[in-house]
Amino acid sequence: MEKMSMQLNRNDPSYINAVVKKKSQTDPKETAIREKIEKNVLGEQWAQEAFAGIQREQISYLRDSVDHVSNPDYVHERTQTVLREIAMRLRSKIVEGQELLQTLPKGTPVLIATNHFGAYKLTATDPRADIGVDIPNYDAMYPYPMYFAALHPVSSVLGDNLYYVSEDFPRVFGQIHSAAGFIHVPPASLEIPGGRTAFLLKQTAEALGKHSNAAIVNFPEGGTSGKYSGLGPYDLDPFKTGGYVIAANLGVHIVPVAQFFDKHEGIQLKVLRPFIPPISEKEAYEHMAESNRMEMQLWLDQRKNQ
């Protein structure tokens, strides 16, 4: 394991290499879950057209952001617009639980905990051919907006901007990621003194300091649903507790949201009851996380069987 300081040098060649290696899309498990997602999502003409449009839109967004990477305000506003437009293409809407969001003050900061539905894997792009950015051994990427744009209806009801937490991206794509206000997770192959949760807690606190009206999407599974288990895209892996620890220490609400793709209607969202986790022992956080996972899994199973 390579030791690095709390302030990671994202331009260090060893860091860039670790990020590029982690982003490889040739892994057999990655290919298998992508094929399962495609089967679930692209069966209807409207969906095929929507995803083709999203792919074009994200390429345009990345080209524009590369040109304006030195202007964070521009990248931030451009990103928020793209997230809204992609959510519309996905026909994303809250179908249950919107009244629960009404209990929170407008503009309140929240962490959205959601299942890691990997529809973004259907919009891969070639950085060199499509965007004009040549990074050695980095011949494909999943543009960030599609990772979490479907949650835009939740942030809209709350009066928040929408952000997310994800693994880092190399070079200029990492710069755009930060300019957009997103939180990056260093590659697991790199050791962070103090631990990853402390590192992410610091980033989240800084993000909320810049944008207090932030809905930050977190994926407690830590990876695409069904990828590592070999199951399907709605078979949830155990939830990790880092987001719950961060919410407890910052005193912000967790808003659990389940997302499901209906082939006729688009992305459907179920909002579960928001709560501020109390600062607790490990077992209590695990109980909260498992309770949210089980409630989401029950709803997803009901949707699958309809």
Count of Cβ atoms closer than 10 Å to residue 229 Cβ: 15
The reported pLDDT for the residue numbered 102 is: 93
Label residues 200-228 b or e (16+ Cβ within 10 Å = b). bbebbeebbeebeebbbbbbbbbbbbbbe
In the chain, how many H helices and how many E strands?
Answer: 11, 9
Report how far residue 51's alpha carbon sits from residue 57's, in angstroms, rounded to the nearest whole number: 10
Q: Give the pLDDT confidence of 17-61 residue by residue, as tens digits.
A: 989 987 666 789 999 999 999 999 999 999 999 999 999 999 999
Token pair, residue 214, equals 């932030």
Token pair, residue 283, equals 């077992």
Instruction: Please name which of 220, 273, 274, 219 lies closest in space to residue 109, comparing C-alpha atoms.
Output: 274
The reported pLDDT for the residue numbered 24 is: 63
Token pair, residue 236, equals 């949830």
* Helical axes 72-89 vs 45-67, angle rounded to 10°: 180
Per-residue pLDDT of the chain (306 residues; tens, 9 = 90+): 333 344 578 888 988 998 998 766 678 999 999 999 999 999 999 999 999 999 999 999 999 999 999 999 999 999 999 999 999 999 999 999 999 999 999 999 999 999 999 999 999 999 999 999 999 999 999 999 999 999 999 999 999 999 999 999 999 999 999 999 999 988 888 888 788 889 999 999 999 999 999 999 999 999 999 999 999 999 999 999 999 999 999 999 999 999 999 999 999 999 999 999 999 999 999 999 999 999 999 999 999 888
Report how far residue 226's alpha carbon sits from residue 30's, in angstroms, rounded to the nearest whole number: 10
* Helical axes 171-179 vs 45-67, angle rounded to 10°: 100
Token pair, residue 162, equals 């929408």
* CB 217 within 8 Å of CB 87: no
Token pair, residue 123, equals 């919009």
The reported pLDDT for the residue numbered 305 is: 86
Full DSSP string of 266-282: EEEEEEPPPB-PPS--H
Residue 253, helix vs strand vs coil: strand
The reported pLDDT for the residue numbered 2 is: 38
Report how far residue 112's alpha carbon sits from residue 199's, in angstroms, rounded to the nearest whole number: 19
The reported pLDDT for the residue numbered 228 is: 93
Which single residue is written with the structure tokens 């808003």? 255
What's the predicted TM-score (pTM) here? Answer: 0.94
The reported pLDDT for the residue numbered 22 is: 76
Token pair, residue 258, equals 């389940």
Instruction: Please name which of 174, 198, 173 lies closest in space to residue 184, comparing C-alpha atoms.
Output: 174
The reported pLDDT for the residue numbered 7 is: 59
The reported pLDDT for the residue numbered 3 is: 39
The reported pLDDT for the residue numbered 195 is: 85
